[in-house]
Structure 1
Amino acid sequence: MIRPASAEAETMQKFSLDALARELLKRAADSAQGRSSETVIGGHEHVLRQTVIALLSGQTLGEHENPGEASVFVLRGRVRLRTDEASWDGLHGDLIAVPPARHSLEALEDSVVVLTVAKL
């Protein structure tokens, strides 16, 4: 994880999502699962969580429940968010609001997304 430059910067943090995306794609390529992720803000014990996720082409985050209000911002590549009733394709720069339903996310090409979740 990218850390603040000093202890004084604890209240403000700056991340290079571009650099992290490159790093996570390399890790995904070395992973048997073809994916890699890192939470950059918040976590399970917080209301807000932002996680950068790299998926190699063809890899899927299997169907799962929506843990709260969520969005997927596509940093690189092309992804498909799917529910039983619909699907949405996202390209670089697109923001997809995750519906309050079971869903999956598939990488249509090597991709990196920022998943933002605010638990209800």
Structure 2
Amino acid sequence: MKKLSLIAVARHLRSHAATASSGRSAETVYGGHDQVLRQTLIALQQGRSMGEHDSPGEGTVYVLHGRIRLSTGDTSWDARTGDLVIIPRARHRIDACEDSTVLLTVAKT
């Protein structure tokens, strides 16, 4: 069994995102491209985003810290610390309304 502190990893990623030119930082904490399930911690500075992209499968975003907006087409959902958002099976984007860290969970189909 492997255990890690998401809070500690998130703190590290927020620090890295604050100095990165992209304003973001990410680390896969479980799984990968060769597995069905993948969990990735993502830190985004306020005003930064994950540009519009397709969903590779079923997915959720859990907000560990901050506030984000997930948008698809004309619809958007705001989420803050402690919220879980189901990612729609459509092109979507995530914008950081404030410095944020999220846990992205995807099960590829």
TM over 0.5, yes or no?
Answer: yes
Task: Tell me the percent identity.
Answer: 57
Q: CA RMSD in A?
A: 0.5
Q: Return the match for 1:83 from 72, 75, 84.
A: 72
**Which residue is equivalent to 1:3?**
none
Structure 1 stretches of 4+ moved >4 Å: none
TM-score, with length taken from structure 2:
0.98
Q: Return the match for 1:96 from 59, 62, 85.
A: 85
**Which residue is equivalent to 1:42?**
31
Q: Of the two, which has the highest radius of gyration?
A: 1
Residue ranges of structure 2 left out of the alignment (5+ in a row): none
Deviations 1:56-82 (A, max 9, x none): 000010000011000000000000000
Question: Deviation at 1:15?
Answer: 1.4
Question: Deviation at 1:116?
Answer: 0.2
TM-score, with length taken from structure 1:
0.90
- Aligned length in residues: 109
